[in-house]
Structure 1
Amino acid sequence: MADRTTPGRPGASWSQARRADGLALRRAIPDRLLPVLVAAMAVLAAMALAGATGARILSARWTTGAASIVTVQVPRPDDPALVPASRPATPAGADAGTAPPALSRADAVLAALADVPGASRVHRLDKAELETLLSPWLGHDGDFALALPAVIELHLDRAGAMDADALAARLDARAPDTLVERNSLWSDRLGDLARSLQTCAILAVLIVVAVAAATIAATTRAGLGARRQAIELIHSLGATDGYIAGRFAGRTAVLAFTGGLIGSLLALPLLVLLSRLAAPFAGATAPAATVATTPGPSGWGRLLAALPLPLAVTLLSLAPAAALIGWLTTQITVRTWLRRLP
């Protein structure tokens, strides 16, 4: 047989041999059904991974944010405290026996909170902040019939760095009936909820991966059945299991990568929308990504930049992960099928 290899192209004969090996992979594994199925799996995986990433971010926000804040309410804040102010230096010419002015209950509590170990910030809410806080229940007119207590926020360096009972006893000695509220109980419950959501999202991803692998395996077995005679022929002529499995796996990996890329592009606008909705809960500013209905290359880049970095990296890894799953699944499926040949 004459050599039809074009001069100067040493790989041409091998490429022609691969095309003429009789496998006809385009007919064995069509290029329409598998990418569509993988794209659908990629969208589902992207949603599940977004849930896992969002739950992890919210859990970190809740545990490090809410748990490190102590809220103190001081009824009758302008009344004198039980502990007087420290005696200042007596001015020249003043009566040395004159008593120093008494601290108000709110000031005494503020002074005590300033000395708490691990306190990074002590803030008393002003009238405007209290009105904003109570407006959903009492309206926006700011005319309250009852005297409001002083509300003080104590920010700690880290959650759980303070004994709440000891602090409550210390403050009660200066201003009786002072209430100390720790957010750690609610933050622990919210953290448990976030971890549960994260676990459910990871399980959903595993289920999607299992379904995708099963779909690819079924498609591969159908292709093997359709080309059984051709495979048996070239296998009997000396084609190795690795060669046949590699041919099938290479085509499946390309189709799976294409489907994963399509699924990632379809999921990207929805993930940006969800990120904008979840941004206030994570303590971040909603990403301002305004693109056209059908974004161009720069529009897709702006959409991707609007996502949190972990979610963007996860989304970019979907297509390679789909290709890897397709390649591994096909390798296992084809090699197992070939071992059963007579």
Structure 2
Amino acid sequence: MGLLAALTLAGARGAADLASRWEGGAATALTVQLAPGAATDRALAVLEAMPEIAEARLADPARLAALLRPWLGDAIAIPLPKVIELRLARLPADPAALAGRIAALVPGAQVEAHGVWVARLLALARSLQAVAVAALVLVAGIATAVIAVAVRAGIAARRDAIAVLHALGATDADIAGRFAGRVAWLVGLGAFGGTVVAAPILAGFADMAAPLSGGRVAEGLLDLPWQRLPWAELALLPPAAALIGWVTAQVTLRLWLRRLP
């Protein structure tokens, strides 16, 4: 359960990071296309004067040709349009309205806002977050059920000894405390082992996802992006698991002790 919890927790963190990167990157980008041979100096001056735009730059024709080469081949006979890449100062409330203003200020411009597909990517990332959180809750529920069954098995194996201690005056808190402390230690130790096993798996996943966040693929085990793992969240898993074990053991044993004469 500790291994599964670490994987789902890292999945939720990774989805949140991707959503933040997409929202802060592509969502604040616009593309302005001008006809081939059009003058770009005036268009750049007009765009740079707009308060919503943080940066306006003319795309390199060689880079455009490289992007089109897989579809048009090496010999591109048609004249390529002039493309101006815009970086917005902040995410606009209405990207379509901003695109309309740019088209009105720059005659003949065709504005491409990335809001539609970025919104879909954000919806996908947030759905992945919700699924990961639901999976984490499910893992915690299964772990609680497993711990409860194990505690009841331990009670059954020591039923006579517990009954004698109870008859001699031991309080429910004393008996439940001994059980709960032992269970918390075992559960926390197991969760720590699962977290340790999950760390290289998560580093491998982070390496596979590196191109999506602008990184590079690792060349070896030591080159894996260990620093990108959610170490703070992973460090909380063993104490959280121990707490779940302690509470489950306390509740399970106290309910059983109440039925003793």
Amino acid at match of 2:53: A
1:267 aligns to 2:198 (yes or no): yes
Match of 1:46 in 2: 6
Q: Report Cα offsets for 1:121-149 as digits up to 9, x if no partner.
A: 1111112211232233234x3x2111111
Alignment match, 2:105 = 170
CA distances 1:305-329 after superposition (whole Å, capped 9, x unpaired) = 71426x1111122111111111111
> Structure 1: which amino acid aligns with 2:80?
L
Shift of residue 64, structure 1, vs aligned partner: 1.0
Q: TM-score, normalised by structure 1?
A: 0.71
1:319 equivalent to 2:251? Answer no
Q: Which amino acid in 1 is paired with 2:46?
A: A
Alignment of 1:171-190 (within 5 A): 171-172=106-107, 176=108, 178-190=109-121
Q: CA separation in 1, counterparts of 2:242 and 2:184?
A: 4
Amino acid at match of 2:27: A
Q: Distance in 1 between matches of 2:193 and 2:153?
A: 24
Mapped contact 1:288–1:306 kept (Cα < 8 A): no
2:84 is equivalent to residue 152 of structure 1: yes
Deviations 1:249-297 (A, max 9, x none): 1111111111111101111111001111212222345567634xxxxxx
1:147 and 1:217 map into 2 onto residues whose CA distance is 72
Aligned partners of 2:90 and 2:71: how far apart in 1?
Answer: 32
Name 1:206's counterpart in structure 2: 137
Please say which of residues 275-284 and 120-129 is displaced more in the overlay.
275-284
Cα distance change of structure 1 residues 109 and 314 upon mapping to structure 2, 3 Å threshold: same
User: Which aligned pairs between 1:155-304 and structure 2 lie closer than 5 A?
Assistant: 155-160=87-92, 163-172=98-107, 176=108, 178-284=109-215, 290-291=221-222
Aligned partners of 1:47 and 1:271 also within 8 Å: yes
Residue 122 (structure 1) aligned to one of 38, 56, 68: 56
Structure 2 vs 1, CA of residues 337 and 114 (structure 1 numbering), >3 Å: closer, same or farther?
Answer: same
Q: Residue 118 and residue 286 in structure 1: after superposition, are their counterparts in 2 closer, same or farther (change >3 A)?
A: farther
- 1:83 maps to none
CA contact (8 A) 1:249 1:330 kept: yes
Aligned partner of 1:71 among 31, 37, 43: 31
Match 1:136 to one of 63, 70, 86? 70
What residue is the counterpart of 1:111 in the other structure? Answer: 45
1:334 corresponds to: 253
Which runs of structure 2 are paired with 1:80-99 in the superposition (5 Å)? Answer: none
Deviation >4 Å, runs of 4+ = 284-289
Shift of 1:68: 0.5
Report the aligned-residue RMSD. 1.9
TM-score normalised over the length of structure 2:
0.92
Residues 289 and 320 from structure 1, CA distance in 2 versus in 1: closer, same or farther, beyond 3 angstroms?
A: farther
What does residue 20 of structure 2 align with? 60
Query: Matches of 2:250 and 2:220 in 1, distance apart?
Result: 42
Structure 1 residues 149 and 279: alpha-carbon distance in aligned structure 2, compared to 1, 3 A threshold: same
Q: Check the 8 A contact 1:260/1:319 in 2, yes or no.
A: yes
Q: Percent identity?
A: 47
- How far is the alpha carbon of 1:193 from its aligned partner? 1.2
Tell me, in whole angstroms, the C-alpha distance in 2 between the residues paired with 1:137 and 1:54: 33
Alpha carbons of 1:252 and 1:289: their partners in 2 closer, same or farther (altered >3 Å)? Answer: farther
Instruction: Please give the secondary structure, in 2, of the residue aligned with 1:317.
Output: helix
Q: Which structure has the highest helix share of the two?
A: 2
Tell me whether 1:308 sits opposite 2:228 in the alignment.
yes
Distance 2:185 2:199 in 1: 21
- Give the CA deviation at 1:158: 0.9
